[in-house]
Amino acid sequence: MKSDMERVVLITDFGVNDLYVGQLKGVLCGASMEIQIIDFFHDIPPFNIESAAWLISRCQHYFPPKSHWICVVDPGVGTPREALLVKLGERVFIGPDNGILGWALSQEDAQVHRIGTHWKPASATFHGRDLFAPVLVDWLNYRDLNRIGPAIQVAQCQPMPALLIKKPHGAQVKITHIDRFGNVVTALKYIDICWASAALVVNGISITKWVKTFADLRVGEVGMLVGGFGTVEIVANKAHAASMLSCKCGDWVDFLEKSVDAKNGD
Amino acid sequence: MKSDMERVVLITDFGVNDLYVGQLKGVLCGASMEIQIIDFFHDIPPFNIESAAWLISRCQHYFPPKSHWICVVDPGVGTPREALLVKLGERVFIGPDNGILGWALSQEDAQVHRIGTHWKPASATFHGRDLFAPVLVDWLNYRDLNRIGPAIQVAQCQPMPALLIKKPHGAQVKITHIDRFGNVVTALKYIDICWASAALVVNGISITKWVKTFADLRVGEVGMLVGGFGTVEIVANKAHAASMLSCKCGDWVDFLEKSVDAKNGD
Amino acid sequence: MKSDMERVVLITDFGVNDLYVGQLKGVLCGASMEIQIIDFFHDIPPFNIESAAWLISRCQHYFPPKSHWICVVDPGVGTPREALLVKLGERVFIGPDNGILGWALSQEDAQVHRIGTHWKPASATFHGRDLFAPVLVDWLNYRDLNRIGPAIQVAQCQPMPALLIKKPHGAQVKITHIDRFGNVVTALKYIDICWASAALVVNGISITKWVKTFADLRVGEVGMLVGGFGTVEIVANKAHAASMLSCKCGDWVDFLEKSVDAKNGD
């Protein structure tokens, strides 16, 4: 099964319109077996660790077992922040120890190694090319965790950033992605409450209309649906919801289990 | 011949700066043979079905026989619109039944299957990942059209959108693409008329200068040439013709076989 | 070693948000062996030959020996400008003869062939797809330089553009890239002078603070470091240095070996 070949999945804030990804790929070509490189996402908003961490958690299962991840949102590059290799079954996740690897670290079978000080990246500013890619190539070529660095405990590492804070009758929840269509993706999982009377409040604007797909809204109307990440999204039909609500990735949104109007009607 | 390997060509309005393409690729990795995935174009203007349909028709021949297409511009996703697999020789085209597959449907040897109701996409909003990619993987792994859904007639499907309307002494023709340099690509094929006296009229501005390449124009001057799609383009030399003419993809342009000035001179 | 497979590395000003790259890749699929196509960089500022030439010179070594380059920044496309294939060991570089191939031409073992007049590109405006890609496919399939065109001397070709002009006590140096984070990359190599008192002057603003990495600056502060290309970059911590300095790729910057303040203090 070729679905069993080695793959490298890249998630970074390098931007597809820049050339950092291209250099990193050059280094990956040093692997001694054929690998397929997949650009998962390179336009994480610069420095937004929590968006990257969340997207990995929601999308890693789409990739076959031997898909290795290089994860680079790294505002602390060149400082003494640590870097990690997390092994989960047949695959590894590599990146800085700043929370971006939180999902992998939270898995029961996670084996964690700190990238050792014997790795001397050629630059202080581009560890994607000069540290993470060489470490992955070394792992692919030798399969020897001892070459990477010392085993450490999960508890010593930065966990997943908090993206939802429970409140009485609701929660504060992060906007974790805004897509090209302006759909506002949140970290709020669709759970077993009475959604008919629930609301999201963004910048003082209350959204209460619950739909199944875009076309259930009038053109330009704003509503909510369970989107492709399995979480609640605020969307508009053929319009840019994020612009209409003046919100951006990283903002907090208020979730009310029962909207005020619904309460009044009780 | 490796030019004979299986390939998947992607054309979507997902945007290369977003992460929908990356998820779709994860699903494609489930194919049981090695496939090469080619990002043909992901920045179709959102919801612009006719641009995608036209670009497929003008570019499909650049790809080897076993190049399968996933075509997703799909404003009706989640509604009862149908989805199709069109088989042409060794390759298949997969996408919604909204005209985007018009070129494939117009070919004499087209075998058309509706994607059956036994396919239950996990989301209502992302059929690229949850329906079209799994259908292609199933086709690649089993080569069994019966697994896809019922055979239907071409006449039951949405044809190619109309991109040219003939008029006395000319035509109305669509702008089908505007490239990063500002070149205005039209659906007007270069045909056997007296081009020396022909004109295109965009927003009231008449373009009459016919050149072979950009450098035949003065810097900033606007003219026409037969571009890389084999159709007429309005271009400027080292300047952004689309901005100068305030036009966008999807606009209509007037084509006059003889420009007014030329007529006056008759 | 799969690091020994044939690869094609692409550097162009086509833009990743456009569809010229996709068409070119279709033509490359005509190679008779499996090749891996790597998008090195497609967002060279339109027509900026010197940026492309410089980036090739600084990054070509990241790719394995059998990595062939197609290099297209080509404002003269369709005019009588020549096109070249430069062979260096096991790899070839293909592109217009306008300086973009300057690095390859400057290597001692460069074998240079002009792309002959028997190649008849189908379009006058898209030689990436219609000339350079077919020439590379022909080379990969036949390994016969005689099929490409006549051997010529390096001295007949356009050399690397000048990116640094020496001055008394300093130099003028080009900005060769501005990345998505706003880092201003220059062609100035880090050499053995007293950097502690050196300055870069951009639009009248003198930058004198020398750091190892971004986090050594206060948030929003501007400084200099040796970046991932091994040259001096002007950067800011979590801010967009290029916007703060109103500079762009292609601008000249003044480099003073000793800044004025330092001189005053002598």
Q: Which residue from A147, A156, A3 is spatially nearest to A66, judged by alpha carbons?
A: A3
Q: Is there a contact between B13 and B44 (Cβ–Cβ < 8 Å)? A: yes
Taking residue A40's Cβ as centre, other Cβ atoms within 10 Å add up to: 25
**Whole-angstrom distance, CA of residue A69 vs CA of residue A95:** 8
Across C169-186, average pLDDT: 95
Question: Which residues of chain A have a CB within 8 Å of the CB of C9?
Answer: 22, 26
Ramachandran sector of residue B156 (left: φ over 0; alpha: ψ -120 to 50; beta: rest)? alpha
Question: CB distance C124–B225 less than 8 Å?
Answer: yes
Tell me which chain B residues have a C-beta less than 8 angstroms from the C-beta of A43.
17-19
Query: What gap in Å lies between CA A173 and CA C11, rounded to an integer?
Result: 41
Those residues whose C-beta lies under 8 Å from the C-beta of residue A262, and which sit 6 or more positions away, are A196, A197, A199, A208
**Minimum distance, in Å, between the CA of residue A131 and any CA atom of chain C:** 12
Q: Could you write out the three-class secondary structure of B53-117?
A: HHHHHHHHHHCCCCEEEEEECCCCCCCCCCEEEEEECCEEEEEECCCCCHHHHCCCCCEEEECCC
Alpha-carbon distance of B126 to A183, in angstroms, equals: 12
Residue A180: DSSP 8-state: T
Chain A hits for C242, Cβ within 8 Å:
none
The answer to whether residue B32 neighbours chain A at the CB level (below 8 Å) is: yes
The pLDDT value given to residue A260 = 55
Asked if C29 is an interface residue toward chain B (Cβ–Cβ < 8 A), one would say yes
Question: If you average pLDDT over residues C229-253, what whole number do you get?
Answer: 96
Residue-wise DSSP of chain B: -GGGSEEEEEEESS-TTSSHHHHHHHHHTT-SS-EEEEEEE----TT-HHHHHHHHHHHGGGS-TTEEEEEE--TTTTSS--EEEEEETTEEEEEESSSTTHHHHTSTT-EEEEPPTT---S-SS-HIIIIIHHHHHHHHHH--HHHH--EE-GGGS--PPP-EEEETTEEEEEEEEE-TT--EEEEEE--SS-GGG-EEEETTEEE--B-SSGGGSPBT-EEEEE-TTSEEEEEEBTS-HHHHHT--TT-EEEEESS-HHHHHT-
Taking the C-alpha atoms of residue B68 and residue B44, their distance in angstroms, rounded to an integer, is 19
Say whether residue C41 is in contact with chain B using an 8 A CB cutoff.
no
- B238 close to C (CB below 8 A): yes
How confident is the prediction along chain B (266 residues), in pLDDT tens digits per residue? 466 789 999 999 999 999 999 999 999 999 999 899 999 999 999 999 999 999 999 999 999 999 999 999 999 998 889 999 999 999 999 999 999 999 999 999 999 999 999 999 999 999 999 999 999 999 999 999 999 999 999 999 999 999 999 988 889 999 999 999 999 999 998 775 566 778 999 999 999 999 999 999 999 999 999 999 999 999 999 899 999 999 999 999 999 987 654 443 33
Pairing of strands B6-12, B67-72: parallel
Mean pLDDT value of segment C23-36: 94
State the helix-helix crossing angle for C49-59 and A20-28, rounded to 10 degrees.
30
Task: Tell me, yes or no, if B40 comes closer than 8 A to chain C by beta carbon.
Answer: yes
What pLDDT, on a 0 to 100 scale, did the predictor assign at position B265? 35
Q: Which residues contact A253 (CB under 8 A, 6 or more apart)?
A: A172, A173, A174, A175, A184, A186, A188, A200, A201, A202, A234, A247
- For A235, the enclosing helix (H) or strand (E) is strand A231-236
| Cβ–Cβ contact C213 with A under 8 A | yes
Task: Give chain B positions within 8 Å (CB) of A2.
Answer: 31-35
Q: Which residues contact A25 (CB under 8 A, 6 or more apart)?
A: A37, C38, C40
Tell me if B22 and A2 make a contact (CB, 8 A cut-off): no
The DSSP symbol for A216 reads: G
Cβ contact (<8 Å) for A36 and B17? no
Average pLDDT of the residues of chain A = 93
- Sign of the torsion formed by the C-alpha atoms of B48, B49, B54 and B56: positive
At C120, the amino acid letter reads K
- The pLDDT of C176-196, averaged and rounded, is 85
In this structure, what token pair is assigned to residue A49? 């660790």
CA B180 → CA B45, C13, C46, distances in Å? 13, 9, 9
Q: Does B180 touch chain C (CB under 8 A)?
A: yes
* Average pLDDT value for chain C: 93
Q: Testing the interface with A: which of C38, C90, C234 to mutate, by most A Cβ within 10 A? A: C38
Q: Cβ neighbours of residue A177 under 8 Å, at least 6 residues apart?
A: A51, A54, A55, A185, A229, A249, B19
pLDDT in tens, C6-20: 999 999 999 999 999
State the average pLDDT over residues A209-226.
Answer: 94
| A12 to chain B: closest CA residue | B19
Q: In whole angstroms, what is the distance from residue A216 CA to residue B191 CA?
A: 45
Q: CA B6, CA A116: separation in Å to the nearest integer?
A: 41
Give the model's confidence band at C155: pLDDT under 50 very low, under 70 low, under 90 confident, else very high. Answer: very high
* B212–chain C Cβ distance below 8 A for any pair: yes
- Scanning every residue of chain B, which has its alpha carbon at the shortest distance from the alpha carbon of A13? B17
User: How many CA atoms lie less than 13 Å away from A215 in the CB half-sphere?
Assistant: 11
Q: Do B22 and A40 touch (CB under 8 A)?
A: yes
For residue A197, what pLDDT is reported?
78
| B·C CB contacts under 8 A | 98
Q: From the CA of A246, how many Å to the nearest CA of chain C?
A: 22
Output the pLDDT for position B193. Answer: 59
pLDDT of amino acid C264:
39
C-alpha distances in Å from residue A177, one per residue of B28, C40, C123: 23, 26, 41
Closest CA relative to residue B127, chosen from B75, B173, B177: B75
For A55-81, write each residue's pLDDT tens digit: 999 999 999 999 999 999 999 998 889
pLDDT of residue C136: 98
pLDDT tens figures, C57-98? 999 999 999 999 999 999 999 888 999 999 999 999 999 999
Asked if B43's CB is within 8 angstroms of C22's CB, the reply is no
Residues of chain A positioned with their CB less than 8 A from the CB of C180: 14-15, 17-18, 46
Contact A225 B124 (CB under 8 A): yes
Residue A99 has pLDDT above 90, yes or no: yes
Q: Which two tokens stand for residue B100?
A: 């985007």
Cβ-defined contact of A179 to B20 (cutoff 8 Å): yes
User: Cα separation of A174 and A250, whole Å?
Assistant: 6
Q: Is A124 an interface residue toward C (CB < 8 Å)? A: yes
Domains of chain C: 2-156 (3.40.50.10790), 164-264 (2.40.30.90)
Q: What pLDDT is recorded for position C262?
A: 41
The backbone torsions φ and ψ at residue B49, rounded to the nearest 5 degrees and listed phi first, read -65, -40
